[in-house]
A and B are shown apart, each in its own frame.
Chain A
């Protein structure tokens, strides 16, 4: 490769990179500017005023706690159900395996926004509306096909010989699963957990439809109401709020992509 071609590629990439950063720049600058508008400008008198203004129990802490409950609950349900489902699919030959896995894969492609109207109707019928638990189970189901798919692939990479040795020594299936298979694939399980957690944390539409009382709404929904009520005046606070709410997923994503290589991040990315 010639040096000129290399420089050309560098410049082209840098231009693209600047275009991608530009919309985010406003978020960063406005968050430390008490007089922020929609313009991107370096604040005259930068301060953390915006951050301290939104750091109140009802504005930030309660919604973030709700987000955490929803996301962690969704991730736990996903990992449990996926591990259980993946075990027989990975370990026993059956003519159901292939059709089941393809059905699961097909399930990953259903547009979740499209089923929100019927889901609302279903929740009304079953009196599940405004229930945190029901919302957790629904959100878990929307990511479950992907979680099963990933978990089975991770489990397939745990060699069967180790288990067979344990069986010979008289260990039960449950015991081998718990003491051999799961510890060996804990990185993979971590990826599944974080992947589901990030999805749930960023989910706006599902809790927006299914959770009605403000005391139960996660940050994604409360930030939207805040924007509706004060967005036209308190730009800086909106930006500060957005940043505080985004930090957890940024950290988790960095954790997954740094610690475990790009292929893992990509398999987690299948449903963005």
Chain B
């Protein structure tokens, strides 16, 4: 009986092996290497030495890590929690009252930015925020001269670009959530004389709060991992002004060849991801019960 039960689980083995080798091992290796002086080339590449918590101490004495951590927080808060989340909810709400044709066309436009390969979206955003780009053309036609966004306001540019790219996800989540809100509840509130914003704040939002929580978790995780968009638009510059944690980890490891320090930065990111992931799993479990 025992053996049969074991045999039944046999088909799971390939997946488990893949996950162990390609997901768990890198994570474990990341934590290990972050305590060494592993390098991309030279003596330390062949024979990395244990350096204790040196890399982590350096993080907080270095200027670049606290800056990157702060930029990451601003980037996630502004482009995911505020930008994508609020705009996605707004679009979904507007769609419940607008004409079908308009809703479907706008839905396609929003989704297009999201379905495109990341690198293409990044090129389009790069051109859009360029000194001679579309945004400044529009500003120019209104009589004001726009700045060189990518150089003078790189963080603003990548925040707007990531909002543009990712809002579709929140929009889809909220469209599905709003479709499940029973009509008679909102209609009853309408009969009782509740105004538009009152219905939104006291009825609609409380009813979809679990979707909001799940959505916030997921878009935070996605935004935390954004690399390509930033790399193409600003490459983290000028002078680290848009270097978020993934960009910093990449630069330290591959540009400066310091794998040890790069994995230390990566380990911090992985830990952040794990915390958000654990909260996300908890949320879903609570919803099920």
Residues of A within 8 A of B (CB): 1, 5-6, 9-10, 12-14, 16-17, 19-27, 30, 37-40, 77, 80-82, 84-85, 87-89, 92, 94, 96, 100, 102, 105-122, 137-138, 140-142, 144-145, 148, 198, 201-205, 209, 220, 223-224, 227, 235, 238-239, 242, 245-246, 249-250, 253, 257, 262-263, 265-266, 269-272
Contact = CB atoms under 8 A, between A and B. Distances in A.
14 contacts: A20-B112, A84-B12, A85-B14, A88-B12, A113-B269, A117-B253, A121-B259, A138-B22, A141-B19, A204-B117, A227-B123, A249-B116, A257-B111, A272-B169
Interface string B1-33: 000010011111011101101110111011001
Contacts of B274: 106, 109-110
Contacts of A5: 97
Given A23-B127, A109-B276, 13 more contacts: A24-B113, A81-B18, A107-B19, A109-B217, A109-B218, A114-B30, A114-B266, A115-B27, A115-B266, A117-B253, A117-B263, A118-B27, A205-B228
B102 A10 contact: yes
The 3 closest A-B pairs by CB, nearest first: A109-B277, A202-B117, A111-B225
Contacts of B127: 23, 26-27, 30, 38, 235
B120 A117 contact: no
Given A10-B99, A20-B113, A26-B128, A114 B19 contact: no
A226 to B, nearest CB: 10
Interface string B268-288: 011011101110110011000
B106 interface: yes
Given A6-B97, A94-B9, A262 B278 contact: no
A224 B167 CA distance: 25
A20 B9 CA distance: 48
B194 interface: no
B22 A141 contact: yes
Interface of B: 5, 8-12, 14-16, 18-19, 21-23, 25-27, 29-30, 33, 38, 87, 90-91, 94-95, 97-99, 102-103, 105-106, 109-120, 123-125, 127-128, 130-135, 137-138, 164, 166-169, 172-173, 175-176, 217-218, 221-222, 224-228, 232, 245-246, 249-250, 253-254, 259, 262-263, 265-266, 269-270, 272-274, 276-278, 280-281, 284-285
Contact of A25 (B95, B102, B134): B134
B5 A17 contact: no
Contact of A84 (B11, B111, B131, B263): B11
